A and B are shown apart, each in its own frame.
Chain A
Amino acid sequence: MQNISKKRTSYQLINKKVPYLFILPWIIGFLVFTLGPLIFSLIMSFFNWPITSEPTFVGIENYKTMFTQDPQFYKSIIITFKFAAIFVPLNLAIALILALLITQPLKGMKFFRTIFYLPAVVSGVAISIIWGWIFNSEYGILNYILSLIGVEGPMWLVDPKWAIFTIVIASAWGVGIMMLIFYTNIKGIPTELYEAAAIDGAGPLRQFFSITIPSITPTILFNVITSVIGALQQLALVLLLTGGGPLKSTYFYGLYVYNNAFKHHQLGYASANAWFMFIVVLLLTMVIFKTSSTWVFYENEVKKEGKKGRRKK
């Protein structure tokens, strides 16, 4: 009896190790390429490191400079949050509307699904180049189309007032992944619910707000968090499309960190910048999670209630 139980425990132990063995490549990758550099950058944020020569320890000097002597630091934070405030709600709304559209049982819907998703597959560099052409105020196609309907388009990439919207528009173009996540979730909502609601006399709008929205709140939560993080870290587009201009109106925090590191060769300072943003993102995510208990509705809660209901019948 004892023998058997011993065997069982050793078998269990192997059983427990095997999964780790399978994810070993990922673990190594995570340690070497994510956790390692992360810790290294934290250490480096306490050094002055002009990259071509040796790093010297400066304590919290980098953080002090950042908070007290660098006006660009605050400017970049404000611009980045402004961008996030416009981009996140807009992006969610567009993704949700598109997802609703592509769940309609119409002919040729597969074609539209592919079209809407396509931009998500295109690389950020290609997107930047394409939008650079579209937005060009002299020869761009967007202003040409606007001129056809009698509107004189703004100088998208030249006017500091408009530049941030060009980034919003270009970013929102990559909405496909979020749309797909919404789509699969909406598809998963049982049709009985809608049928029951229809019998009760609920119109499409009422159905949307009383069935669709509550059912997909976990997905909304996920999409809110990923797009907030994505918006705060936006780099590729500003780097390639505007280079932070015009007049630094799109000098996002990501670009600020990147330039400090690779243009001004202040790697220690840039590490401090990056860690500040890391903490901000962390706190923001925590706050969103905390509030989520009041508005996110998980499926297992729904199911339990559903079963109870059936029994009562």
Chain B
Amino acid sequence: MKLVKFKAILVLFIAAILLLAGCSSSSSGDKTSDGKVKLRFATWDVGDDVSLQQDMIDKFNEANENIEVVLEAYGSEYDTKITAGMGAKDAPDIMYMWNYPQYKDALEPLDSYIEKEGAEYKDNFYETLWNYNSADGQILGLPVGYTTHVVYYNKAIFDEAGVDYPKSGWTWEDLQETAKKISNKDSKVSGFAFSGKPDPYDFEMFLWGNNTSYVDKDGNLNGNLNSKQSVEVFEMFQNMAKDGSAIPTEGSGSQEMKSGKVAMFVYGAWGLTPLKEAGIDYGVVELPSFKGGKSVSILSSSGVSISKNSEHKEEAFEFLKFWTNEEANKERIGFELPVLKSVVESEQLEQDPVKSVFYSMLEKSDGYTPASFIVEDWSKVSENLTQTFESIFNPSTLQNPKEALDSAVE
């Protein structure tokens, strides 16, 4: 009897495994019943952005009789899901992508595809964006959107304090002075807010501005992360927190900015709509520069990539082209800065008082390579850096920057 039971369970187990295997093989790269090539397309967007994307995909499917693109919206679980998909050899054919170094082995290099489209096609994208959509010298994605970082300022607070709005070409000293003038303990207004546990990826731009970076070309932290210029940057931020002219925030600072109690903070284009919706009358200005340094920003960019395991790469590239063409850039203009020079020109974004700032920052930020593209195991390094930076800015520790960075290098 016991044996029978065991056999029954074994049979069930095998049946279950077969069932699973059946599921996974049918979902990838197959043709639909009417002979169309089916492409799965994964996006990280949520809410209204997804419905806009679905509308665009519907247009593509109508225009291309032999291809059917299916949108899969993974939302905040995006990385977990595509990671699991790659592990199961069942990744979507087309994926939104930003962290190229980490996923490079699972992505199809696109250089040969792009070459076929001609030099003019490639040149219409901003050059800097190609660097951010590559890894190990190969292009792995077509640029979809980007943002540089700028300083947002709350006009109402500036008016009340009787201080002039900041102008491009300003320095960090100017910012500190302004912040000091505006900060007011009684009304709980802070002149400047910065993240108390900054994402190391973003924070590197301040080091670039002071002519240094986390690592050298070979990925060595020592002598770079703990260089004199680097320590200066950390000291400057720490001092602002110490003298009360700035507050280190728990998040990015956007929450504090929305509350109307913060005069300035550094953020990407993500803040444009939410801050407006929160009723903040804001202006944006280029990042300040260090003495003897430059105003330079890191890019947070997104692109679309093709899975190495996709069975229909040609069709997938057709879709990539559609997704990054002029029309698509214009469709997305409400929530994504266009990446094509022709669109920026036709939409006159260079004349826009807000959006033009992001483009001038983009032009100033060419030629820098983030450490995440150089260091082999960036996710581990990044985790350690996060902790180090936190220990410098956390009000309950406020560790000496020089010591903290020296020990981080080890």
Contact = CB atoms under 8 A, between A and B. Distances in A.
A in complex with B: yes
Interface of A: 20, 24, 27-28, 31-32, 35-36, 49-53, 136-139, 155, 157-161, 245-248, 259, 261-265, 267
A139 B259 CA distance: 9
B66 interface: no
A170 to B, nearest CB: 15
Contacts of B395: 155, 158-159
Nearest to A139: B259
A52 B86 contact: yes
Nearest to A135: B250
Nearest to B382: A263
B2 interface: no
Contacts of A267: 87
Contact of B105 (A35, A36, A53): A53
A20 B5 CA distance: 11
Interface string B327-357: 0000000000000000000000000000000
Contacts of B387: 247-248
23 contacts: A20-B8, A24-B12, A28-B12, A31-B16, A32-B20, A36-B16, A52-B86, A52-B102, A52-B105, A52-B106, A138-B247, A138-B250, A139-B255, A139-B256, A158-B394, A158-B396, A160-B394, A247-B397, A248-B387, A262-B83, A263-B79, A264-B380, A265-B379
Among A27, A52, A161, A263, the one with the most B-chain Cβ atoms within 10 Å of its Cβ is A52
Q: 10 nearest interchain CB pairs?
A: A52-B106, A52-B105, A159-B396, A32-B16, A51-B87, A31-B16, A53-B105, A264-B379, A262-B80, A31-B13
B18 to A, nearest CB: 10
Interface string B132-153: 0000000000000000000000
B20 to A, nearest CB: 6
Contacts of B383: 259, 263
Interface string B9-40: 10011011101100000000000000000000
B16 A28 contact: yes
A102 B188 CA distance: 43
**A-side binding surface: helix, strand, loop or mixed?**
loop
B379 A263 contact: yes
Contacts of B394: 158-160, 246-247
Given A31-B13, A246-B394, A51 B379 contact: no
Contacts of B16: 28, 31-32, 36
Interface in B255-297: 255-256, 259
A160 B391 CA distance: 10
Nearest to A240: B76
Contacts of B259: 139
Contacts of B87: 49, 51, 267
Nearest to B91: A52
A10 to B, nearest CB: 14
Contacts of A136: 250, 255
B16 to A, nearest CB: 4
Contact of B250 (A32, A50, A137, A259): A137
Contacts of B397: 160, 247
Interface of B: 8-9, 12-13, 15-17, 19-20, 79-80, 83, 86-87, 102-106, 196-197, 247, 249-250, 255-256, 259, 377, 379-380, 383, 386-387, 390-391, 394-397
A233 B8 CA distance: 33
Given A137-B250, A245-B390, 7 more contacts: A53-B105, A159-B396, A245-B197, A245-B386, A263-B379, A263-B383, A264-B379
A12 B254 CA distance: 69
Contacts of B104: 52
A157 B196 CA distance: 11
Nearest to A136: B250
A97 B107 CA distance: 56
Given A263-B379, A265-B102, A36 B20 contact: yes
Among A24, A32, A51, A263, the one with the most B-chain Cβ atoms within 10 Å of its Cβ is A51
A139 B20 CA distance: 49
Nearest to A267: B87
B193 to A, nearest CB: 10
Nearest to B247: A138
A27 B9 CA distance: 9
Contacts of A246: 197, 390, 394, 396
Among B13, B79, B250, B377, the one with the most A-chain Cβ atoms within 10 Å of its Cβ is B250
B252 to A, nearest CB: 13
Nearest to B188: A138
A138 B256 contact: yes
B19 A32 contact: yes
A151 B20 CA distance: 58
A265 B80 CA distance: 10
B83 A247 contact: no
Nearest to B104: A52
Nearest to A264: B379
Nearest to A133: B255
Contacts of A247: 387, 390-391, 394, 397
Contacts of A27: 9, 12
A281 B19 CA distance: 31
Nearest to A55: B87
A248 B391 CA distance: 10
Contacts of A265: 83, 102, 379
Nearest to B14: A31
Among B8, B383, B391, the one with the most A-chain Cβ atoms within 10 Å of its Cβ is B383
Contacts of B379: 263-265
B86 A158 contact: no
Contacts of B377: 264
A32 B14 CA distance: 10
